[in-house]
């Protein structure tokens, strides 16, 4: 088949343009790097113009490619949807989707309703955060994880956001208890920590490639979701090292929450949507859903995080 007629080639070029990397595009699409590279280079030869400015990292799409994709991507989405509907049985399909509770409450509940409106043959069950064992056992069809699985041969892993977070407190808490300057100072403070089925509480912080000693706290509160963590923080109960900036954008912008210990952050989250490869191959609507939710969530979460960091930069250090 001519590469111009190969939807996988179009998908590879589009993903590489979004991510600025053929490697990241391969991860997002769940295909081997060598295959993704062949698809992109083959398309470039067929079109007859350079796709990327390779003097930058990440790669930047050339003006010709940007213009082409702006016109072509809506048609690509329509073709993908038509193919999936043709391959599906035509019966109603239910997708079981599991994510951390706070992201489900604040984001995915609305996102799934919107996707279901666009795809009336689909319905969704939004389940509590699940493990890889649950995915592999068939308890759920797609899950959100905060790190890329170490063993992924049987999985399709779509990385949608890599981010960390600052050390956060309220001005009222700092007035009463003082402002820590280093990780060692946290021994005089109360830590607000997160533990979930997939995450243990943060034990170290990092700055400029330097790893702190294991964190020691005067007291700790441990909760299983970031909304409860946020509530504890706003009640001036302690200091948070594991609260996503995406959940506190308005509070950072208003000054109700501030950043302390400049430069010290937890290890990055590597947020991803994960499915079973075998299940995706047998179910095109699941693949389309996983691709779409990873793309949309990544775009939105990047915007939230950038707003939070901009607010911190404007406020400076307390």
- E strand spans, 128-268: 142-145, 155-163, 166-169, 190-194, 206-207, 210-211, 219-223, 239-240, 258-265
Per-residue model confidence (pLDDT) at position 3: 40
Tell me: pLDDT of 30 over 80: no
Confidence of residue 76 (pLDDT cuts 50, 70, 90): low
Whether 174 is covered by a domain: the verdict is yes
Give the tens place of pLDDT for each residue, 56-74.
777 788 888 888 888 777 7
Q: Is the pLDDT of residue 91 over 60?
A: no
pLDDT tier, 241 (very low <50, low <70, confident <90, very high otherwise): very high
| Whole-structure pTM value | 0.72
CATH number at residue 197: 3.40.190.10
CATH number at residue 71: 1.10.10.10
Whole-number pLDDT of residue 1? 42
DSSP 245: G
Percent of the chain scoring above 90 in pLDDT: 56
- List the domain range (segments joined by +) for residue 62: 1-87
Q: Three-class SS of residue 224?
A: coil
37-55 pLDDT, tens digit each? 888 888 888 888 888 887 7
Out of 249, 267, 285, pick the residue that ends a domain. 267
């Amino acid at each position: 088949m001519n590469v111009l007629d190969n939807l996988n080639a179009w998908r590879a070029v589009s993903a590489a343009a979004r991510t600025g990397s053929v490697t990241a595009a391969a991860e997002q699409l769940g295909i081997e790097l060598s295959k993704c590279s062949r698809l992109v280079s083959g398309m470039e030869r067929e079109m007859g113009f350079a796709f990327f400015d390779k003097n930058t990292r990440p790669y930047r799409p050339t003006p010709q490619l940007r213009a082409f994709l702006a016109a072509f991507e809506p048609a690509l989405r329509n073709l993908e949807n038509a193919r999936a509907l043709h391959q599906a049985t035509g019966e109603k399909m239910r997708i079981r989707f599991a994510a951390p509770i706070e992201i489900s409450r604040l984001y995915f509940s609305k996102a799934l309703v919107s996707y279901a409106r666009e795809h009336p043959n689909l319905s969704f069950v939004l389940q509590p955060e699940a493990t890889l064992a649950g995915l592999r056992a068939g308890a759920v069809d797609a899950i959100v994880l905060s790190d890329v699985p170490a063993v992924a041969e049987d999985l399709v892993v779509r990385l949608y956001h890599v981010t960390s977070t600052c050390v956060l407190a309220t001005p009222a808490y700092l007035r009463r208890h003082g402002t820590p300057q280093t990780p060692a100072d946290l021994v005089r403070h109360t830590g607000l920590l997160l533990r979930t089925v997939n995450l243990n509480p943060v034990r170290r912080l990092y700055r400029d490639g330097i790893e702190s000693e294991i964190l020691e706290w005067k007291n700790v509160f441990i909760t299983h979701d970031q909304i409860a963590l946020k509530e504890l923080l706003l009640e001036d109960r302690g200091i948070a090292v594991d609260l996503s900036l995406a959940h506190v954008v308005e509070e950072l912008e208003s000054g109700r929450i501030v950043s302390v210990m400049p430069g010290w952050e937890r290890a990055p989250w590597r947020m991803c949507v994960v499915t079973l490869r075998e299940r995706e191959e047998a179910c095109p609507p699941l693949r389309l859903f996983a691709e779409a939710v990873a793309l949309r969530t990544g775009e939105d979460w990047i915007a939230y995080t950038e707003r939070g960091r901009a607010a911190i930069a404007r406020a400076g250090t307390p």
